[in-house]
Amino acid sequence: MRKIKDVLRLKLDAQLSHRQIAAALGMSKAAVTKYLGLAAAAGLDWATVQRIDEAALERRLLVAPERPREHVQPDYGYLHQELRRKGMTLMLLWEEHRADYADRQTYGYTQFCENYRRFARQLKRSMRQIHRAGEKLFIDYAGPTIALTDGSRAHIFVAALGASSYTYACATPRETMSDWLESTARALSFYGGVTQLIVPDNPKAMIADANRYEPRGNDTVLDFARHYGTSILPARPYHPQDKAKAESAVQIVERWIMARLRHQQFASVHEVNQAMAPLLTRLNDKAFQKLPGSRASTFAEIDAPALLPLPLQRYEMARFKTVKVHIDYHVEVERHRYSVPQALVGQELEARITTAVVEFLHRGQRVASHIRNSRVGGFTTTPAHMPAAHRAQMEWTPQRLIHWGTSIGPATAEAVTRLMAENRHPEHGYRACLGLLSLAKRYGKERLESACTLALQIGACQYRHVNDILKNNRDRSNPVAAEEWVSPEHVHLRGPGYYQ
């Protein structure tokens, strides 16, 4: 514009010819003619040109007068919200806009897109990330904490949905893995559904390997994601812009909730959560500044229908431990032994330990599950895990052995009962009883019953004694007749006549 102003000065003030002006300023004669024509059309003289600045001169000479707008202007805030829906495109929105105003003049598709992008750039001078409905949940902890009367502090967990920015916040006593996962489970219950991705930063409590390209959560975090049917995708280390929604939500919670609680005193984390609940509702109902609606209305309209359903049961915290199956097909967890299928002897399993249950996984498949038992040195055994021989041995009980003996005869049943009574534990007499009862297969039930009767009379009913009686045929040589016992005569007996 400085050179154009020189052209006007040399012509209007110095009265030079077009050729002389072009030679003096190093311009073409056509360019001089053009600018002098624009000045004449704008009605400018040298006094006016000398008085105004270059910006005003440019507007007078080069900017065409703005024509009144005849096109229907779209609601760009509405377009911005609609683009967050799954499958929504600018082409579809442009077609709907043209259909709504078919009787009026509308923009072509190219100008429609250009106008929207110009609007989007005005929202914030940074890269705009398009968050799809129900796609991402951003989580983080606020930096400031809330003091409690016992000297401890409440840490504030914050979660925000990507599309609607619908915000959840709660207080926890610390920032351990248990606090992270329990707060995330509360957030999912608050939203009433599950997003496809959960985006934290890289806390050591959750992320085992904070790799830039392949970050990996620890086993409990992966188990949490598997339970809810979602994925954990940590942001890049030292890149807070990857979770800008969480950073923004944390700032808003600090200003709109925590700042309002600064004069109150709290005795517990529970009291902090009670005080935050109404403020959180106000925050989500507060209208947006540049977009239509609020966080709550946008969530109900866009995010809520796109969320995945919650599982039937809430996640229960679990620890994982690698264990090896011993030769007795048991594994030891916290000094208690649990059985697994005997075919896995010598294999390494993954133990999943919760408050009430201990599960064992082999190559990702559950092979055993037991109620958690805290008895040190004890055993928890499932019969189906045992070999066939061990299972048959375990199925023997005193009642079953006595019933077997009764089927042979009363003397045999009495001999079995005495064998088990002679031992401190009935199990110690099982083998002797089984050996005694097995003699019926070799000698027959009648001979065994006779041998047991003779053994009871002489007070020797152990297996080897009964076996010797049968082997030596003593049950046949001395048959025992069961006679009715009669008391012998005695001088000390008074007799029935004494009472006459």
**Distance from C-alpha of 309 to C-alpha of 303, rounded to nearest angstrom:** 12
Residue 69 confidence class, pLDDT cut points 50, 70, 90 = low
Alpha carbon separation from 235 to 92, 218, 387 (Å, rounded) = 32, 15, 50
CB within 8 Å of 448: residues ≥ 6 apart: 408, 409, 412, 439, 440, 466, 470
CB within 8 Å of 230: residues ≥ 6 apart: 194, 195, 196, 197, 198, 308
User: Which has the higher per-residue pLDDT, 158 or 344?
Assistant: 158
**Distance from C-alpha of 300 to C-alpha of 217, rounded to nearest angstrom:** 31
- State the pLDDT at residue 178: 85
- State the pLDDT at residue 168: 93
Q: Residue count of the chain, please give it.
A: 500
Residues 116-128: tens digit of each pLDDT: 888 887 775 444 5
Tokens at 445, concatenated: 């039930």
Asked whether the predicted pLDDT for residue 295 surpasses 70, the reply is yes
Task: Specify which residues 138 forms β-bridges with.
Answer: 160, 199
Question: What are the start-end ranges of the H helices in 173-293?
Answer: 177-191, 219-228, 244-253, 269-285
Asked whether the predicted pLDDT for residue 426 surpasses 60, the reply is no
Residues 385-415: tens digit of each pLDDT: 777 655 555 555 677 777 888 888 888 888 8
Beta strands 365-371 and 357-362: pairing type?
antiparallel
CB within 8 Å of 467: residues ≥ 6 apart: 439
Residues 1-49: tens digit of each pLDDT: 677 877 887 887 778 888 888 888 788 888 888 888 888 887 888 888 7
Alpha carbon separation from 84 to 87, 191, 299 (Å, rounded) = 9, 18, 11
DSSP structure class, residue 194: B
Which range of 206-215, 242-251, 474-483 scores highest in mean pLDDT? It is 242-251
Contact in structure between 463 and 438 (CB atoms under 8 Å): no
> One-letter amino acid identity for 433?
C
Q: Helix, strand, or coil here: 359?
A: strand
Half-sphere exposure at residue 394, Cβ-oriented, CA atoms within 13 angstroms:
11
Q: Helix, strand, or coil here: 302?
A: helix
pTM: 0.52
Alpha carbon separation from 319 to 52, 185, 258, 355, 360 (Å, rounded) = 77, 17, 33, 9, 12
Residues 152-198: tens digit of each pLDDT: 999 999 999 888 889 999 999 988 888 888 899 999 999 999 998 88
**Distance from C-alpha of 200 to C-alpha of 239, rounded to nearest angstrom:** 12
Residues 246-292: tens digit of each pLDDT: 788 888 888 888 888 888 899 999 999 999 999 999 989 888 877 78
CB atoms inside a 10 Å sphere around CB 199? 22
Average pLDDT, the chain: 81
**Least confident range of 81-85, 256-260, 490-494:** 490-494
Asked whether the predicted pLDDT for residue 430 surpasses 80, the reply is no
Tokens at 272, concatenated: 């902090």
Please report where in the chains the tokens 């679990």 appear, as a residue: 318
**Distance from C-alpha of 104 to C-alpha of 99, rounded to nearest angstrom:** 10
Provide DSSP, 35-95. Answer: HHHHHHHHT--HHHHHHS-HHHHHHHHTSPPPPPP-SPPP-HHHHHHHTTSTT--HHHHHH
- State the pLDDT at residue 393: 55
Provide DSSP, 122-176. Answer: HH-SSPPP-PPTTTEEEEEEEEEEEEBTTS-EEEEEEEEETTT--EEEEEES--S
Asked whether the predicted pLDDT for residue 482 surpasses 50, the reply is no
**Least confident range of 21-35, 217-231, 236-250, 335-349:** 236-250
Residue 470 confidence class, pLDDT cut points 50, 70, 90 = confident
- State the pLDDT at residue 154: 92
Q: Helix, strand, or coil here: 353?
A: strand
Asked whether the predicted pLDDT for residue 66 surpasses 80, the reply is no
**Which residue from 226, 84, 75 is spatially nearest to 161, judged by alpha carbons?**
84
- State the pLDDT at residue 478: 54
**Distance from C-alpha of 394 to C-alpha of 389, rounded to nearest angstrom:** 9
Tokens at 173, concatenated: 């006593």
**Which residue from 62, 58, 352, 53 is spatially nearest to 226, judged by alpha carbons?**
352
Please report where in the chains the tokens 């809810």 appear, as a residue: 228
**Distance from C-alpha of 1 to C-alpha of 54, rounded to nearest angstrom:** 6
Tokens at 26, concatenated: 């190093």
Please report where in the chains the tokens 């890049």 appear, as a residue: 236
Contact in structure between 257 and 145 (CB atoms under 8 Å): no
